[in-house]
């Protein structure tokens, strides 16, 4: 299950072989092309932020002023929305992105212990990317799959009832 997939977003100027950790070079024209697709839509700012992250690998700070101008908002308002949602990154992610649910149901079923295990295994904390650029570990707050907690996503794919052993298996599978 992909957590976000815009039905509206059409473009991507990042070459297919570009690794996640490489920042796409800032290009105002490209950014404006992304933003322009959403300026007339209700909730267009969110779509534009997703589109920018899709193309650049993160939301470049250079885009805040453009977004503010195009959506008739202040820069602070744009930054407020961007920083409120954990999905929007300030840096490109690693090759594999792991999100561990920290919301109530998952916590009740062991997500804290699972998080501690993941941090120890990968040598990074939540919100960090490993030095080799292989893994990014992130917190997420309810994946809508509470019945089979604890839940994680690995590269956008949802996995339920994830034990420490299952987590290791999943990591080994993408590492090989
Ligand atoms: S609380 Fe984790 S999926 Fe809902």
* pTM of the predicted model over 0.75: no
Choose which CATH entry (3.40.50.300, 3.90.1150.10, 3.40.30.10, 1.10.3720.10) describes domain 96-175: 3.40.30.10
Residue 145 near residue 160, CB atoms below 8 Å = yes
**Per-domain residue ranges for the chain?**
1-92, 96-175
**What number of CA atoms fall less than 13 Å from residue 63's CA on the CB side?**
32
28 Cα to the center of ligand 1, angstroms: 38
Site to substitute for ligand 1 among 99, 110, 146, most atoms within 8 A of C-beta: 146
Q: What pLDDT is attached to residue 124?
A: 96
DSSP 8-class letter at 147:
G
156 Cα to the center of ligand 1, angstroms: 15
- State which ligand 1 atom lies nearest to the alpha carbon of 150: 2
Contacts 24+ apart (CB under 8 A), 64-72: 66/28, 66/31, 66/32, 66/35, 67/35, 70/32, 70/35, 70/36, 70/39, 71/39, 71/44, 71/45
Mean pLDDT by 10 residues, the chain (176 residues): 40 40 78 94 94 91 96 96 88 92 97 98 94 93 96 96 98 92
Q: Does domain 1-92 have CATH number 1.10.10.1590?
A: yes
Q: What pLDDT is attached to residue 36?
A: 95
The C-alpha atoms of residue 114 and residue 56 are separated, in whole angstroms, by 31
Q: What are phi and psi of 162, to 5 degrees?
A: -90, 110
| Ligand 1 neighbours by CB, cut-off 6 Å | 101, 103-106, 142-143, 145-146, 149, 151
Q: What pLDDT is attached to residue 57?
A: 86
Q: What pLDDT is attached to residue 18?
A: 41
First vs last Cα of the chain: how many Å apart?
22
């Amino acid at each position: 299950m992909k957590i976000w997939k815009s039905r509206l977003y059409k473009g991507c100027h990042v070459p297919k072989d570009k690794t996640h950790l490489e920042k796409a070079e800032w290009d105002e024209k490209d950014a404006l092309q992304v933003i322009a697709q959403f300026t007339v839509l209700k909730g267009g700012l969110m779509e534009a932020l997703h589109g920018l992250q899709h193309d650049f690998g993160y939301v470049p700070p250079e885009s805040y002023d453009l977004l503010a101008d195009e959506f008739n908002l202040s820069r602070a308002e744009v930054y407020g929305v961007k920083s409120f949602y954990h999905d929007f990154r300030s840096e490109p992610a690693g090759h594999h992105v792991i999100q561990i649910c920290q919301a109530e149901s998952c916590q009740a079923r062991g997500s804290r212990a699972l998080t501690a295990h993941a941090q120890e295994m990968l040598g990074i904390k939540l919100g960090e990317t490993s030095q080799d650029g292989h893994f990014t570990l992130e917190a997420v707050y309810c994946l809508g799959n509470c019945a089979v907690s604890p839940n994680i996503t690995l590269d956008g794919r949802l996995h339920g009832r994830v034990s420490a052993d299952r987590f290791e298996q999943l990591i080994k599978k993408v590492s090989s």
